[in-house]
Structure 1
Amino acid sequence: MSERLLAPRLFGRRVPLPLVAWLTLVWVTLWGELSAGNVLGGLATALVVTWLLPLPVLDPGIRVRPLPLVRFLVWFGWDLFLSTVRVVQWVVRPGDPPTWLVRVRLRTSSESMTVMIMVALSTVPGSLVVEAYMDRKELLLHVLGMAGEGVPDAVRRDVAGLESRIVAAFGTRADREELR
């Protein structure tokens, strides 16, 4: 839909109709009764509030691309399963599990993509983002339950793959270009 339909001008200012509808719904819900007076009162209040207090236009820098999203979700679900199995094996085994602190350099400079990567990493059992160095595009990860000398390189490869999938699924064109 065009911007004119979703945010027509009222006395020189744009009034976002989806926000007006939401505020009207909240108003009617707060009054607890669906009546013509409550709906009209909510509509009038919503129009005045959105006209007097205009919100800035925000672009979170996230675009949803369906096919890469499905690829990411399938991979992420499989990673959740494997990581859970790995952590459970170390929990039932006697002794301390191996732990690592691994620095991982990201290729993306987008804050929204970095936050999504951090959330995905922290959601997976056995990994946790300890610190994020946004100025250096670097994460410090705590990894639990992976044994062997090649763990840091394997973790870096896994995070690079995760980063690629997240940027492919949610990134803007500029974000995707940055990873090439």
Structure 2
Amino acid sequence: MTGGRWRDRGIAALGLTVIWVLLWGSFTPLTFVGGLVIAVVVLIVFPLPAVTYSGRIHPLGTLRFAGRFVLDMVVASFQVVALAFRFGHVPRSAIVAVTLRAPSDLGLTMTAEALSLVPGSLIVDVDRRKGVLYVHVLGVESPAEADKFKEDVLELERRIVRAFGSPAERRAIEEVPA
């Protein structure tokens, strides 16, 4: 196993350990060691596929992504609450297919995860080869609203690529009109 592969597994084990400690709600030596042991066992029993990351983290892009992501979550939360409390109105929804412009495995995953964390949207399927996300969207009443949602997803992808993308992904995002 190469040095890079060991490093990746070490980072994954550390990440899983941090999640374990956070789930327990307190940091003690026992929860840390227990989490580390469980993380190592999980990584041995369920080995992760190799993910190549040829990009780098862009601090300004990361700040823009994080700020807008928090704003999107707050706004979407209020929109879902408003839909839930509109008496006599049955909210409509749609499955919207969005073809990403720079669909690397990591970019596709990060975009799908960010979308699923925002209330009112949920990934129902992914076509990895074509780079298509199929998203269930709450509150879509017309084809125009579905198109607006597609634009919002492509803008989310743009922010993610600007924050974490490789030079090739950044070029692909800039070459294709939004």
Identify the TM-score tier after normalising by the shorter chain. Answer: 0.5 to 0.7
Rounded Cα–Cα distance in structure 2 between residues aligned with 1:110 and 1:116? 10
Q: Do the aligned residues in 1 keep the contact of 2:121 with 2:138 (CA within 8 Å)?
A: yes
Counterpart of 2:163 in structure 1: which amino acid?
A
Q: Does 1:105 align with 2:137?
A: no
The corresponding residue for 2:171 is: 177
Q: Give TM-score, length-normalised by structure 1.
A: 0.66
Residue by residue over 1:25-76, the C-alpha shift from the partner in whole angstroms, topping out at 9 and shown as x without a partner, is xxxx68xxxxxxxxxxxxxxxxxxxxxxxxxx97434521100111111111
Q: Return the index of the structure with the highest Cα Rg.
A: 1
Q: What stretches of structure 1 of length at least 5 have no aligned partner?
A: 1-6, 8-14, 23-28, 31-56
TM-score normalised by length of structure 2: 0.66
Counterpart amino acid of 1:106? L
Aligned to 2:81: 88
Partner in structure 2 of residue 64 of structure 1 = 57
CA RMSD of aligned residues (A): 2.5
Correspondence for 1:133 among 127, 130, 155:
127
Question: How far apart in 1 are the matches of 2:81 and 2:102?
Answer: 32
**Deviation beyond 3 Å, 4+ runs, structure 1:** 57-62, 146-149
Of 111, 117, 125, the match for 2:111: 117
Runs of 5+ in structure 2 lacking a partner?
A: 14-28, 31-49
The alpha carbon displacement at 1:125 in A equals 0.1
Aligned length: 132
Q: From the two aligned structures, give the one with the greater helix fraction.
A: 2
Which residue is 2:161 aligned to? 167
